[in-house]
């Protein structure tokens, strides 16, 4: 049996997120570009993929969604650097980005409060049992997450951390 895995040559699993992936705004000054992501070993029956990046440590009471991509074609195994650009032009059709917690339909880089303990960033690719999620383009991250989980055959994940020094 092949194991479903997700990795990035840019971000080591269990390591620290490099500063270029930091958000550009809210007091952060990174390049706000999404990393290369690659996966393999999707289960039989996969009809599409969804990708999420989530910070459970954000001081919001509900975490922080940095990136949500749905409707990635079943043959997709890699997202190139900066695939999360606003507008989705760097994603394979018919993939679409769901609004993140910055309010953008794009990658939103790391930007934990200065001096916080390192935040965990959970990168997850979901193998889905449907070719397209039945959600509107303006769906909330919570609705997208619900529908992603409702149709997940299997998921692969890795976690990395990021912190900013105290101001």
Q: Which two tokens stand for residue 20?
A: 């270029």
At residue 54, the pLDDT reads 98
Half-sphere exposure of 114 (CA within 13 A, CB side): 7
At residue 1, the pLDDT reads 63
CB-based contact 143:135 (threshold 8 Å) = yes
Q: The whole model's pTM is what?
A: 0.97
> What does the mean pLDDT of the chain come to?
97
- Encode 88-113: b = buried (16+ Cβ within 10 Å), e = exposed: bebbbeebbbbbbbbeebbbbbbbbe
At residue 2, the pLDDT reads 79
At residue 10, the pLDDT reads 98
Interval 86-140: pLDDT, tens: 999 999 999 999 999 999 999 999 999 999 999 999 999 999 999 999 999 999 9
User: CATH number of 5-162: 3.40.109.10, 3.30.420.40, 2.60.130.10, 3.90.280.10?
Assistant: 3.90.280.10
At residue 167, the pLDDT reads 79
Once rounded to an integer, what is the mean pLDDT over residues 30-58? 98
**Cα–Cα distance between 35 and 37 in angstroms, integer?**
6
Banded model confidence at residue 166, pLDDT cuts 50, 70, 90? very high
At residue 137, the pLDDT reads 94
Percent of the chain scoring above 90 in pLDDT: 98
- Encode 67-81: b = buried (16+ Cβ within 10 Å), e = exposed: bbbbbbeeebeebeb
At residue 28, the pLDDT reads 96
């Amino acid at each position: 049996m092949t194991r479903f895995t997700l990795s990035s040559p840019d971000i080591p699993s269990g390591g620290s997120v490099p500063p270029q992936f930091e958000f550009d705004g809210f007091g952060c000054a990174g390049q706000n570009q999404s990393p290369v992501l690659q996966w393999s070993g999707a289960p039989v029956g996969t009809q599409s993929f969804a990708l999420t990046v989530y910070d459970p440590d954000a001081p919001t009471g509900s975490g922080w969604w940095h990136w949500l991509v749905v409707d990635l074609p079943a043959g997709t195994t890699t997202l190139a650097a900066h695939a999360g650009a606003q507008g989705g032009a760097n994603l394979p059709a018919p993939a679409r980005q769901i609004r993140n917690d910055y309010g953008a339909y794009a990658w939103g880089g790391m930007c934990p409060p200065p001096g916080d303990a390192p935040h965990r960033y959970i990168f997850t690719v979901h193998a889905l049992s449907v070719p397209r999620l039945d959600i509107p383009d303006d769906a909330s991250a919570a609705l997208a997450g619900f529908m992603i989980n409702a149709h997940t055959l299997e998921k692969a994940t890795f976690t990395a951390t990021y912190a900013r020094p105290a101001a």
